[in-house]
Structure 1
Amino acid sequence: MPAASASPAPAFASEDGGRPGAGANDAILRDFWYVALPARELKTGRTKSLTLCGIELELKREASTVTATAKTGESLQATEQEGLIWVYVPEAHGHAPDVPPPAFNGPGGARVQFVEEAHLPCHIDDAAYGLLDPAHGPYVHASPIWRSSKTLKDKAKDYEPSELGFTMVPHAPVNSKLYNIIGGSIRVSIAFRLPGLRIERIWNEKHTVLGVTVLTPVDANRTIIRQVFYWDTPVLTVIKPIARLFTRPFLQQDVRIMALRQQGLAFGAKGMLIRDADQLFIWYQRIKKEITDARAQGRAFVNPVKPATLRWRT
């Protein structure tokens, strides 16, 4: 199959047929937990103002308790888990969460070792496309230590459905030399869970690195992307002071490509999805639609993803 286009993410329609951000329906999923910010940014006795899913919030920490209050006076559920502050964004006033936030089960006592973030000028759906597009890595994040468009290889990856998403089953990595920093005999598993979590687990017999990419919708036109890492690998702790020299430019490449996309949208740019290269985003759209349909019909969610082997060149 041909590689996915290296151009900015297409102008995809939202699942309800409208453009993201159009009118009152901003196409952002609610009745979900979202990461509001890293826990280290909310000190005891202090408050933090932010906007989440278009809602102006004030977070406050008192001892071991975190509270979230909307500008309207409504209280939202908030909690700290694995070094992150989560806020439950309800569809309607008074809706309470049925389940806790997703657990990553990170190594090293689930202690956050490193966080970097950037502000993307786009809807969360477009940010998700950037995470799922196989061509995104070699074209947007081209780097001598990562990969480039000049070192494309034929790939065949096995996928299976997982909770509110899909998972690339464990495999031996073939692209990045960075994986080898924790030693040999490495395995990698990558899961994507709606509304915006990419969970990459890298491990061998001795060590584990967990990298979580978190998408937090500010509103219909802005999304925060955070790279959160957990590890039990001493060598990564040693090199952590210089890690931002690589991660910050990495995320700024995402900012640039999304800004270019906005320029294209101003001229009515259209997009298309190509199997197998865009199958992950096609699944994203189908899962999002199933979530909204199941809620509207008062029935249980049924994951539309079936086990599959996808092939592309990247």
Structure 2
Amino acid sequence: MPASRSDARREGSARLGQGFLWNSWYVAAVSGQLAAGELLPRQILGLRVLLGRTPTGEVWALNDRCPHRAVPLSAGRTVRGARGEDLIECPYHGWRFRTDGVCASVPANADPDFTVETIRVSAFRVVETHGLIWIWMTQDRAEPDHPPPVIPGIVGRKPLAVATIAYPVHVDHAILGLVDPAHGPYVHRQWWWRKPTRARVKSKAFVASPLGFTMVGHAPSESGRLYRLLGASPVTEIVFRLPGLRWEHLRLGARSVLALSAMTPVTDHETRMTQIVWSDFGALRFLAPLVRFAVHRFLQEDEVVITAQSRDLKDSPPFLWVGDADQQARWYVQLKREWLASRGEDRAFVNPVKARRLSWSS
């Protein structure tokens, strides 16, 4: 029996470097990036999204396109309605929309019987929690069937560091770099990082975790000299979760440091990486400028390699994956395929990752 169109689309999306994981929560912005009354345009999974915040603090998200003449609403402004509510005004003909997407005014309309409320702009579900703004991305207007991820270890009054950078590759390739454990000594050549000449074999235990896998708690490697500055006896746990989240939770006695990396697809050939670091470790508050510098430098070093790689990725070349160092990349591909298959077949997701120990040199 020939495959259906939906089967063919799902198979295409399952290929490395193609498609997106719809019906998922993505990081749209960090709370501090969106002030009340501001309009923040974003492109997410190829869709143009407009984010905003009301005077009372609620976050909203709309399709960034006026249905009248396709002018970006982000080129307009927010105005106050008759009841004090925020309205988004299109800069072309002054059409106004409520934050739920319903049209509130068409100034040029002279027909008293015309109901402007029948006009709508698509709205997106958004949730703000722990300083992150999550957006539910769907193609079929499906309501969220699960909440945004809960990321344990978010501590402190506000992040120590926030950095964003655009990588010129499909999100799959950005994630392969995110979960790759062996590039550090060659890409990140800072004084606090292990040099290639000092590489040693590492062996770490991994288990399946919700929509991903976890490197179970262990003492950080000696490659992270910055860890040693923090003292105590650190234990770190690293988690990867679909659609593109990785966080490292470092515990130092009663204190902790959490570093979250969030990959948000922009288009088929661009991915926005958001890196956030939190901590309740007092010494790091004094070292905050150094932490911010290190985070920015770290992302820029990755960008250099990914940009170089992007030239030939356009031809979809086959990859040669070797040994345990590439196993996390294999797991990501398996997780993506299973996610798409479970959604297409309307069944529960079955995590393909099996507990095992991986060994590699870095």
TM-score normalised to structure 2 length: 0.78
Shift of 1:137: 1.3
Shift of 1:27: 1.1
Range 268-277 or range 283-292, more displaced: 268-277
Alignment partners' CA distance in 2, 1:41 and 1:120: 20
The answer (yes or no) to whether the contact 1:15–1:288 under 8 Å persists in 2 is no
Secondary structure, aligned partner of 1:241:
helix
Which structure has the bigger radius of gyration? Answer: 2
Secondary structure, aligned partner of 2:283:
helix
1:65 correspondence with 2:113: no
Shift of 1:71: 3.0
The residue identity in structure 2 corresponding to 1:53 is L
User: What's the RMSD between the two structures over aligned residues?
Assistant: 1.8
Look up the match of 1:283: 331
1:44 correspondence with 2:36: yes
Alignment partners' CA distance in 2, 1:82 and 1:71: 26
Alignment partners' CA distance in 2, 1:15 and 1:223: 19
The answer (yes or no) to whether the contact 1:78–1:85 under 8 Å persists in 2 is yes
The residue identity in structure 2 corresponding to 1:227 is Q
Look up the match of 1:259: 307
The answer (yes or no) to whether the contact 1:182–1:207 under 8 Å persists in 2 is no
Range 102-111 or range 125-134, more displaced: 102-111
Alignment partners' CA distance in 1, 2:157 and 2:129: 9
Look up the match of 1:194: 242
Secondary structure, aligned partner of 1:118:
strand
Aligned in 2, Cα 1:199/1:268: closer, same or farther, shift over 3 Å?
A: closer
Alignment partners' CA distance in 2, 1:112 and 1:69: 27
- Provide structure 1 residue ranges, at least 5 long, that are not aligned to the other structure: 1-13, 21-25
Equivalence map 1:1-314=2 (5 Å) = 16=13, 18=15, 20=17, 26-62=18-54, 63-71=56-64, 73-92=121-140, 94-109=141-156, 111-174=158-221, 175-265=223-313, 269-314=317-362
- Provide structure 2 residue ranges, at least 5 long, that are not aligned to the other structure: 1-10, 66-120
Alignment partners' CA distance in 2, 1:142 and 1:241: 19
The residue identity in structure 1 corresponding to 2:25 is W
Alignment partners' CA distance in 2, 1:96 and 1:113: 34
Alignment partners' CA distance in 1, 2:355 and 2:41: 42
Q: Specify which structure has the bigger relative contact order, considering alpha-carbon pairs within 8 angstroms and separated by 6 or more residues.
A: 1
The answer (yes or no) to whether the contact 1:169–1:189 under 8 Å persists in 2 is yes
Secondary structure, aligned partner of 2:155:
helix
The residue identity in structure 1 corresponding to 2:184 is G
Task: Report the number of matched residues.
Answer: 295
Shift of 1:263: 2.1
Alignment partners' CA distance in 1, 2:314 and 2:63: 33
Look up the match of 2:88: none
The answer (yes or no) to whether the contact 1:190–1:201 under 8 Å persists in 2 is yes
Shift of 1:19: 6.0
Alignment partners' CA distance in 1, 2:254 and 2:292: 25
TM-score normalised to structure 1 length: 0.89
Alignment partners' CA distance in 2, 1:45 and 1:120: 29
Shift of 1:132: 1.4
The answer (yes or no) to whether the contact 2:166–2:273 under 8 Å persists in 1 is yes
Alignment partners' CA distance in 2, 1:100 and 1:17: 24
